[in-house]
Amino acid sequence: MPRATARARAPRAVKAPRLATTRMPPEWRRRSLWSALVLLVLALLATLVWLAGRYEASQVQSRLERDAAEAVGEVRSALTRNVQSLQALQFNEPTPQVWMSEAQAFLRVHRELVRIEWRDPAQKITAQAESPFSVPVFDRSGRAHSQADVVQTCAAARRLSGPAYSGSYFVLLAEGLGIEVMELCLPLVTAGRLTGYVVATYSLPEVLNELISRQLTRSQEVSFTEGDGTRLAIRGLARRGDRVFTAQQLLDLSGTTLVLRLDSWQGAPDFFPNVLTALVAAMSLALFFILLLLGRDMRRRLKAERDLAEALAFRKAMEDSLITGLRARDLSGHITYVNPAFCEMVGFSAQELMGHSANAPYWPPELAHEYQKRQAIRLAGTAPPREGFESVFMHKDGTRIPVLIIEAPLINEQGVQTGWMSAFLDMREQRRVEELSRASQDRLQATARLAMVGEMASLLSHELNQPLAAISSYATGSTNLLREGRHTAADMEVAMQRIAQQAERAGKVIKSVHDFVRRRDQAREAVTPQALLDAVMPLVNLQARKLVVQLQLRVAPGLPPVLCDRTMVEQVLLNLARNGMQAMDSPDITRRVLLLDVKRHPDADERQLMFSVSDIGPGIAPDVAQQLFTPFFTTKAEGMGLGLSLCRTVIEQHGGSLRFAPHTPQGTVFSFTLPLA
């Protein structure tokens, strides 16, 4: 019996655990989900705290790197200024006594320097000055032990043709002390010849103390180190903490490289900001749970409100993006809707416009009766033209606004007309553009007149050069004759006559240029070629004597006169002759000959004379020839680029042409033609 009972109970004992596994109560399932959610939130908060700590560390490291870069920049800038100041010590070739006095004054200002030496090209010390703020650095060890470093540094400076720095080395002072120093060698070169050296000794601790901002050394430890980490000089006291942040920057100098190191000690991260972050996260989580609880009851309402809000937002975005005014009216003519663009157009708010039918506030009083008739026709069912019609509205401030109105029936979802929808286009901008177009035509005419004024100014400045230069030359010559007492009445009379002639010529140039720019017919006259040449020869001779040029005139006999504006053609001859002589102004050209030739045009059918100016200069390059007559193009440093352009314009206005061609065996020939009288 006991065994049978055991066999009967055994299956029930096995089945009970299976039921417990497969049928978990709902409360345990919810607890498991809540536990998983809590663990997830805790993991997120821990991650947030860890990321906050990493962010704080990265901020400290970034600030330290930035401070190191700024410190290197400060040191490099200060060393550059010191080089310039050391160069100034040699200004005006001072005596050793004067140099020592100025060097002592310089050392009193720059504590980072402990010694300055003036050496001759053989590295012998001519004069020296010690810093007044420390004992002489080489009294104990002597200068000879560092002479090799100085010589090597000066050799590098000579190769670089500029300052060079030596590597740092330790100098033993009294009482077992010492400092790390660095040498600067600055070669002194006069007229390409080495005259000596300026050797300056820097104290690395004082460089850190004087050339780096006090703010850095107050909160951080700044040091110069070697590549293996050996510290050469240290400045600054830092508060010790749990974490150390280090930044290194290379200070590249001519001849050597130093490593600037910044060390900053930070304490353990403050706990309060992390707690604040956790509190914000916890509050956000609590708010999320509250919204979940409320969401079950408000889900349907929120969905309906969201759909409505999206529809309203979409509609409002469309209305606000339009620059076209919109107005809706019902079948009785009352305004039921206006958009912001329409309100802005007429200056009335939507509340002021709603419900108006007759005598709308934006109707001009003088046109109100006409608009009422038009509205009655529209409300009777007559459809307006699809392309619209123009009208005039009145702004709230009384301004009249031209508008283009496009109207269409307003149909609801059942297909029934409930009113009229009108679109309004502001035509003021179009009217303004039309006015601007008309005004621009007037401005173009005014601009053309201003361009003529500018052209006249350029012509005057170019063409008055020669007569004014001649007046100055004659006046200078007369002054020299008066000063030396070699003048006679005849000489002075000739000089005064020449000055008067050139002044009269300047007046004629002004009048001719004025008439030329205004495009009026110049006062042309019959002038013989010889008379034109005789008029410009005094000025040409002056230029020829100055540039050592031999002039040759060749005028064919029996040439008839030409019809021209005498002053302007004389300026053309003068400009071409002057250009030809300047083209030969080169040391490579020993024989300088300028030929002025006048003959009949080779073509027998042409009733013209040809004037030629030939030089034996280097000729005209192909790239220059393409733009030789372009205004403001010149190959002269002092030229304006207007001479040849104006010469061609003058000749073409006379009915001739100006050309150039190569001259045999070398040089250039400029030729122009003028019609016979």
- How confident is the model over 419-434, as a mean pLDDT? 82
Sheet holding 400-411: strands in order across?
335-338, 325-330, 417-426, 400-411, 389-394
Backbone angles phi, psi at 265, to 5 degrees: -100, 130
The whole-number pLDDT of residue 354 equals 85
The residue length of the chain stands at 677
**Domains of the chain by range and CATH?**
63-264 (3.30.450.20), 322-421 (3.30.450.20), 427-520 (1.10.287.130), 523-677 (3.30.565.10)
Contacts (Cβ under 8 Å, ≥6 apart) of 352: 361
The whole-number pLDDT of residue 520 equals 46
Q: Which range is least confidently modeled, 23-32, 182-191, 250-259, 292-301?
A: 23-32
The whole-number pLDDT of residue 1 equals 36
Confidence of residue 447 (pLDDT cuts 50, 70, 90): low
Cα(102)–Cα(439) distance, integer angstroms: 71
Strand partners, 169: 181
The whole-number pLDDT of residue 7 equals 38
DSSP structure string for 485-540 = T---HHHHHHHHHHHHHHHHHHHHHHHHHHHHHTTPPP--EEE-HHHHHHHHHHHH
Is 286 within 8 Å of 196 (Cβ atoms)?
no
Please state, rounded to an integer, the average pLDDT across all residues of the chain: 78
Confidence of residue 522 (pLDDT cuts 50, 70, 90): low
More confident residue, 104 or 324: 104
The rounded radius of gyration (Å) of the Cα atoms in the chain is 49
The whole-number pLDDT of residue 441 equals 67
Q: Is the pLDDT of residue 26 over 80?
A: no
Question: What is the enclosing helix (H) or strand (E) of 452?
Answer: helix 428-463
- How confident is the model over 141-147, as a mean pLDDT? 80
- CA separation (Å) from 161 to 153, 164, 197? 12, 9, 12
The whole-number pLDDT of residue 116 equals 93
Cα(459)–Cα(641) distance, integer angstroms: 11
Confidence of residue 146 (pLDDT cuts 50, 70, 90): confident
Per-residue model confidence as pLDDT tens digits over 623-657: 887 777 777 767 776 666 667 877 888 888 888 88
Is 212 within 8 Å of 71 (Cβ atoms)?
yes
The whole-number pLDDT of residue 6 equals 38
Q: Closest Cα to residue 364, out of 395, 388, 406, 404?
A: 395
Q: Which of 164-168, 224-228, 272-276, 352-356 holds the top average pLDDT?
A: 164-168
Cα(629)–Cα(651) distance, integer angstroms: 13
Per-residue model confidence as pLDDT tens digits over 30-47: 567 666 766 776 677 667
Backbone angles phi, psi at 187, to 5 degrees: -70, 145
Q: Is the pLDDT of residue 268 over 70?
A: no
- How confident is the model over 383-408, as a mean pLDDT? 80
Q: Is the pLDDT of residue 294 over 60?
A: yes
Per-residue model confidence as pLDDT tens digits over 223-242: 888 877 788 888 876 556 66
Q: Is the pLDDT of residue 513 over 70?
A: no
Cα(100)–Cα(182) distance, integer angstroms: 21
Per-residue model confidence as pLDDT tens digits over 151-161: 899 999 899 88
- How confident is the model over 174-191, as a mean pLDDT? 86
The whole-number pLDDT of residue 14 equals 36
More confident residue, 583 or 55: 583
The whole-number pLDDT of residue 295 equals 58
- How confident is the model over 443-454, as a mean pLDDT? 53
Cα(649)–Cα(522) distance, integer angstroms: 13
The whole-number pLDDT of residue 611 equals 93
The whole-number pLDDT of residue 138 equals 84
Per-residue model confidence as pLDDT tens digits over 273-282: 555 565 666 6
Confidence of residue 613 (pLDDT cuts 50, 70, 90): very high
More confident residue, 452 or 652: 652
The whole-number pLDDT of residue 334 equals 83
The whole-number pLDDT of residue 468 equals 76
Per-residue model confidence as pLDDT tens digits over 305-345: 778 888 888 877 777 777 788 888 888 878 888 888 888 88
The whole-number pLDDT of residue 8 equals 37
Is 168 within 8 Å of 259 (Cβ atoms)?
no
Q: Which range is least confidently modeled, 30-39, 187-196, 336-345, 553-562?
A: 30-39
- How confident is the model over 4-17, as a mean pLDDT? 38
How many of the other CB atoms lie within 10 Å of CB of 469?
14
Handedness of CA 171, 173, 179, 183 (dihedral sign): negative
Helix/strand/coil for 186: strand
- pTM of the full predicted structure? 0.39
Per-residue model confidence as pLDDT tens digits over 376-395: 877 776 666 666 778 888 88
- CA separation (Å) from 6 to 9, 13, 19, 76? 5, 10, 21, 97
- How confident is the model over 158-171, as a mean pLDDT? 89
Handedness of CA 282, 284, 285, 286 (dihedral sign): positive
Confidence of residue 444 (pLDDT cuts 50, 70, 90): low
Confidence of residue 183 (pLDDT cuts 50, 70, 90): very high
